[in-house]
Chains A and B, each alone.
Chain A
Amino acid sequence: MNVPQNVYKDLTLCSRCRCGFCRRGCTTYPILGVESLTARGRNAIALSFLDGLIDASQGLADRFFLCTTCGFCKERCPLELDTVKINESLRAELVKKGFTRPEHDAFAKSIENAHNPYGELHEERMKWLPSEAEVAGKADTAYFVGCTTAYRRPEIAEATVRTLNGAKVDFITLHPEEWCCGSPALRVGRRDLFLKLARHNVEAIRKTGVTRVVTSCAGCYRVLSQDYPEFVGEIPFKVVHASELMAELIKEGSLKLVRKVPETVTYHDPCHLGRHTGIYEQPREVLKSIPAIRFVEMSKNRENARCCGAGGGVKASFNDFALQAAVRRLEEAREVGAESIVSACPFCAHNFREVIRETGSSLKFYDLMEFILKAIEF
């Protein structure tokens, strides 16, 4: 048995209890309906596997990979078991035994070779940077862009930089030393690769002497703020998500949202920003401070928010399922009369934009950083 002792203990506790409160609200179970895709079911499989009742197989491994690790089950567990950690530990164990997803193999290889999971050139990581953007040579703050933002959702990076410039926040970027934060690797059980990336990035940031790292990516934020300290020890800088910084800048008056945006808008809590790191209010504060906005909440919000369906390596391996989950979430936005759905995660953006395009939905999606541009007078 190679999972941490506390993970094994949690599995035995779940095996005693079996309440199944994790089933309702799970991202996967209500769509696919199979008990082995719930936390309770997976935990029973995990215990059977670790105690030698059942052999590992690709099918078994896929029960662990077909989970967005959204953490709803953790939120709802009466025993407060860390179901996300359990799943990720089992994934790591299964990867060691050679049970992986080919899509994860591909992005892991790309990360090894090009420092991003998308097979893009590392030299083009900052291709999105507008020529007029002001990036300092030396500052207290570094903007950690993240791979998905840099290569797939450059509009978020551009909006972040423009807003930081507008609010007169001096910042540097880490390029060419910014590598993938390691989130995709860690989430799908590639711990060795994650450690390599984490050590590199921490050292690269340390060398710049910045005291604060800001990121507009929820996944990067979760990894930098929580997983780096856990896996590589204390980090010599503070990590803030762009939504936290924006809320702070608005409060102190450095960022003024003055233009009216008379739209009905709802906010989707990204799992990595909400349930995983507890940032619920700042993005809402930012949105509510926009003049003339009509802010509405979906019925499932904050710790009860549904996952968009993309996380935990699911979009790479099971895209049809990821899109089905996003359709359900967009339906909730429509139910409360939203015209636009705003979130604060490039991965949620990627999934929602794809499903809006595929279904021809009239809903518009914006990242928080994009949306606030509408209200800033430059």
Chain B
Amino acid sequence: MKDAVSRNPRDIVRLLTEIVGKDNVLYEQYDLIPYSRDRCPFLTHPKHGVIPLAVVRPATTEEVQEIVVLANKHHIPLTPRGSGTNYAGSAVPSKGGVVVDLTRMNRILAIDEESMSAKVQPGLILQDFEEALSKRGFTFGHDPGSFPSATVGGCISTWSVGWRAGKYGDMGRLVLSLKVVLPTGIVIETRSVPKSSTGFDVKSLFIGAEGAMGMITEAVLRIHPSPEKRVILVYGFKDFEQAFKSLLKVLRAGLCPMMQLVTNKEGMEGLVEKSRANGFVMISYEGVKEVVDAQAKRTASILEAEGGMKISDEVAEQYWADRHDMFSKMNLVGAAGSIDTAVPVSKVLEFYKFLEDWAKRRGVKVFDIASWVLPENLGMDSAFDESEVKAYIAARDEALRKALELGGTTSYCVGVGTRFPHLMREEHGPALDVLRAIKRTLDPNNIMNPGWLSP
């Protein structure tokens, strides 16, 4: 229940100021507007955002703890935020309350070269982390499209996937341990070993939880040796189907690419203009030079045997160089939305055909339909009419439901946020009640990013 404090923004600001100082509490409308949205595609204008009561910027676990205790006492909703690059609306303060901007907590606390791990704060930007590691001969290996701005905490909280996940795994696999402030203010820290057999894996409660289970204040992450060499191969095929089947041949040969992508013709628009190909496979390896060379040689011979036409290395390098900017650039053509679905490999081609027909039938402008990083991931980037958002969402939901019907998932990496809560019963079935029971247990007053887990 709301109390007098939670109803009075001035009281909230005063109490937050006592914790972090006046420079780290924002309450003016002009300062709050930039925190009212994240990158959820439909929030194309500031008028679509939700203005919080205040923004607080803690610098330590202790400050986070004090903020959480305060919020729990007065039932004030808290929305943790990194760089606000999430596509699902998870960083939108949809119930108002206070946004907890964690970007002051952006330090690398320790790099343990022997253990190949690093302890970092949640507001650390991936590119800053990667550059720091690179100076010491290491790489993190997590490379989502938002790499230049996304934070470690945001990536953990959305269980993100990046371009290099074939070799290094998704964000969840890169987490060794977490320090978390629970919604009641208790601080827990899990053990920094890859695995233990002492009950449930507690840290997994916070991976992909979009801040609803607690506030991550530290993470120990796996790091890897900087690769000696990287090779990118691109081959054109008659169509998507042939391209996808050729990728499967590569995987069945036992090869394990650092990155793999199968895309339709639109996905290479502007790069490959005069090719007869209508489907493309891009495969990359990195690591020890001799191993990379051998993998690339074997891959090329498989793709060529399947009828693939080699596309120039320049095209491959250009595509790779543009990998972080490409989604942003789609917004030049129209408001860009995405479908980030995954289905069992055996259903990918059926789902691909559905998406092609669906886009034609619904009149959706398609930037690409692509299987990315894992063969199961089959998604689509498209433009929508900003004045017809409801119609686009209805159309999109048809595609998401098809993925569910085929045994897949509605969202393989961006989270649920405010985009997909209405589909979560269909996604999880009775398991949704399990998730909600956990949420209720950890957050009895429902203060932490209240949303789809606590309707």
Contacts and interface: CB of A to CB of B under 8 A. Distances in A.
Interface residues of A, number: 33
A54 B33 contact: yes
Interface in A199-218: none
Interface string B91-102: 000000000010
A282 interface: no
A33 interface: yes
5 contacts: A24-B125, A33-B104, A35-B31, A40-B34, A79-B328
A121 interface: no
Contact of A21 (B26, B28, B104, B149): B149
A35 B149 contact: no
A44 interface: yes
A35 B36 CA distance: 11
Given A35-B34, A41-B33, 5 more contacts: A21-B328, A24-B125, A34-B26, A49-B30, A78-B329
Interface stretch (B281-289, B331-339, B388-396): B331-339
Contacts of B34: 35-36, 38, 40-41, 44-45
B46 A44 contact: yes
A17 interface: yes
A13 B329 CA distance: 10
A40 B37 CA distance: 11
Contact of A18 (B30, B39, B57, B332): B39
B122 interface: no
Nearest to B41: A16
A1 interface: no
Q: How large is the interface on B (under 10, 10 to 19, 20 to 34, 35 or more residues)?
A: 35 or more
Interface string B409-421: 0000000000000
Interface string B104-129: 10000000000000000000010110
A20 B83 CA distance: 7
A322 to B, nearest CB: 18
Interface in B50-101: 55, 57, 83-85, 101
Contacts of A38: 34
A79 B29 contact: no
A21 B148 contact: yes
B195 interface: no
Interface stretch (A57-65, A219-227, A248-256): A57-65
A298 to B, nearest CB: 14
Interface in B323-345: 324-329, 331-332, 335-336
A60 B335 CA distance: 28
> In this complex, which of B55, B85, B328 has the most chain A Cβ atoms within 10 angstroms of its Cβ?
B328
Interface string A8-33: 00001101111111011000000001
Given A13-B331, A35-B34, A41-B34, A24 B44 contact: no
